[in-house]
Structure 1
Amino acid sequence: MEPDVRRMFLLADVAAHGSITATARALNYTPSAVSQQLAKLEDEAGQPLLERQSRGISLTIAGEAVVRHATRIRQQIRATRAELDEIAGLRAGRLFLGTFPTAGSSLLPPAVTRFRELHPEVRLTVRSGLLAGLRHMLENRTIELALLWDYEWNRLDDDGLQVRHLLDDQAALVVGRHHWAARRTSIDLSALAGEPWITRAENNPVAEVLARSCRAAGFEPQIVYEAHDYQEAQAMVGVGLGVAVAPRLALTNPRDDVAIVPIRGYAPIRRILLARLAERRPTPAENAITAVFEEVATTFARPTHG
């Protein structure tokens, strides 16, 4: 039979106060109640813990061992409480976050900066990946929160996730700085029906964005280059190989030789989302960085003209 921890603490109190009567008075118990609990503790220990003498009580060797361990347990409990208070107050702890490349180069940096300004003692670790990888990391708890995205034709519909919509990431036209469309404040894609187009390779969702946008404008795009990232696509646009469509977050740091032109009419919008497992209770750090992301997202929700 394992000793009851609360009775171990009671024995430590008796040792500290020097008698059962003094302990009962300090804890607002009756001496009889204290004696009964100590008797049960001795039954659990299987041996005497106290020696009753005419001048009071003393601990047996076994009693001294119990008091020693009770003192350590109390110290550990106090240390646990103190650490929990530190974490709850965002004065300690850690947070694991997931992101995808375009969010990692746009939305994430100001959010990290702001979070560290507010909570410098919380250690932040970030993992970058694609959509399927980020969802897997959430499910196996490698990360606690993830920046995700979806489009109207592949909404993120998962009852296992709690999703917060941060902002709408509008698509924009990317043309060379000296292209005739660079002088426009906005443009209908139908005006670009005869242009060569640069898209993303490997079934990237922006390829679907381009196809749907051009079809809505009445034509099929002539693809001349498939880029493996947005910087490569910008580079090809910059040298005049063609024009491209990209989400705004991918154009946060545009090259000097390209211009960004808002699209009039239909262009699919990418939703930027912050997700966590629905079954998990969010930590104080998760709640804090969620508020930071919502604050930062408002600055990206206002489109800029390039």
Structure 2
Amino acid sequence: MLDVRRILLFAEVARRGSVTATARALNYTPSAVSQQVSRLEAEAGQPLLERHARGVTLTDAGRALAERGERIERELRAADNELADFAGLRAGTLRVGTFPTAGASLLPSAVIAFREAHPDVRLTVRSARIAGLWSMLENREIELSLMWDYDWCRIDREDAVVTPLLDDPPALLVSDRHPLAGRASATLAEVAGDPWITRAEQHPVAEALDRSCRAAGFEPQIAYEAHDYQEAQAMVAAGIGVALAPTLALEGIRPGVSVLPLQPPAPVRRILLVLMSDHSPTPAAQAFAALLRDHAADSTL
């Protein structure tokens, strides 16, 4: 196997036309250059140079190898420039994961800021539930992801780096005809007798509702199971019942719904930034993570 470093040195000798000129340019001794060329000839199994008093002349094999060396140099320079573009966020792709409520609230401002700062990086976003986000992280389909957890289901994995971004407290949604509408806040005990609108398909917010109501001393009577928060708001506005929702899910409040912050005890979920510990973040991922932290710090939740 030919030594690439010797090929590059040989290409320099070919360009300069002598061992002495090459040694002077590279700050080597002429003897060191000659030794490396001799070793390359041994690897090649044939002479590459014809040495004479005024310099060197390439053999046919030497000319062919020198041309290869020039191509290798060009490819290495191209690789250096390409890596510099990635490091300088002038190229590349960043794949980010999110869940729906963060995708509709916290994420857009970070996406806008990233694209304005780094327009040459292609940014893609994938939205899924927690199990899907874990799968994409583990398979490297995404580099980092927004996630959430509650006190009773903390994310605690040795193979993940978890950064809390902000707390997302719950709010009580009632019809604007409800006796509590317009209040500055409320407690769960005040709506113990109301019918409830919850999330369908064993959504984590349904579990949060059950746990919270039991802690307040009652079992919630479920009147409707909604598939998203807009549907839940519509049922609240229609007077079907009251609902619990994280604050991040309330970016757009429909007419007829009154939002009341809940007094403790109430289930506060954490919004998290998650990366796999064995995946070194790219410069693009590091820059996006910094933007998420900044925007989360500026949040008014």
* Structure 2 length-normalised TM: 0.96
Distance in 2, matches of 1:120 and 1:184, equals: 45
| Structure 1 residues 141-290: aligned runs within 5 Å | 141-290=140-289
Q: CA shift at 1:28, angstroms? A: 2.1
Distance in 2, matches of 1:195 and 1:56, equals: 98
Q: Percent identity?
A: 59
Kindly indicate whether the alpha-carbon contact (under 8 Å) linking 1:211 and 1:220 is maintained by their aligned counterparts in 2.
Answer: yes
Letter in 1 for 2:61: A
Q: CA shift at 1:299, angstroms? A: 3.5
- SS state of the match for residue 181, structure 1? coil
Q: CA shift at 1:94, angstroms? A: 1.4
- Which residue is equivalent to 2:116? 117
Letter in 1 for 2:210: A
Kindly indicate whether the alpha-carbon contact (under 8 Å) linking 1:193 and 1:219 is maintained by their aligned counterparts in 2.
Answer: yes
Letter in 1 for 2:100: P
Q: CA shift at 1:118, angstroms? A: 1.7
Number of residue pairs matched by the alignment: 301
Distance in 2, matches of 1:17 and 1:215, equals: 85
- SS state of the match for residue 76, structure 1? helix
Q: CA shift at 1:178, angstroms? A: 2.6
Distance in 2, matches of 1:159 and 1:73, equals: 42
1:271-301: CA deviation from partner (whole Å, max 9, x where unpaired): 110000111222211111111101111233x
Distance in 2, matches of 1:186 and 1:56, equals: 91
Letter in 1 for 2:199: R
Q: What are structure 1's unaligned runs of at least 5 residues?
A: none
* Structure 1 length-normalised TM: 0.95
1:122-150: CA deviation from partner (whole Å, max 9, x where unpaired): 11111111101111111111111011111
Q: CA shift at 1:53, angstroms? A: 4.0
Distance in 1, matches of 2:298 and 2:207, equals: 27
- SS state of the match for residue 241, structure 1? coil
Distance in 2, matches of 1:218 and 1:14, equals: 87
Distance in 2, matches of 1:8 and 1:125, equals: 42
Letter in 2 for 1:235: A
- Which residue is equivalent to 2:88? 89
Indicate yes or no: 2:41 matched with 1:6: no
Letter in 2 for 1:217: A
Q: CA shift at 1:258, angstroms? A: 1.1
- SS state of the match for residue 264, structure 1? coil
- SS state of the match for residue 67, structure 1? helix
- SS state of the match for residue 9, structure 2? helix
Indicate yes or no: 2:126 matched with 1:127: yes
Distance in 1, matches of 2:174 and 2:114, equals: 35
- Which residue is equivalent to 1:296? 295
Q: CA RMSD in A?
A: 1.3
| Mean Cα deviation higher: 29-38 or 243-252 | 29-38
- Which residue is equivalent to 1:98? 97
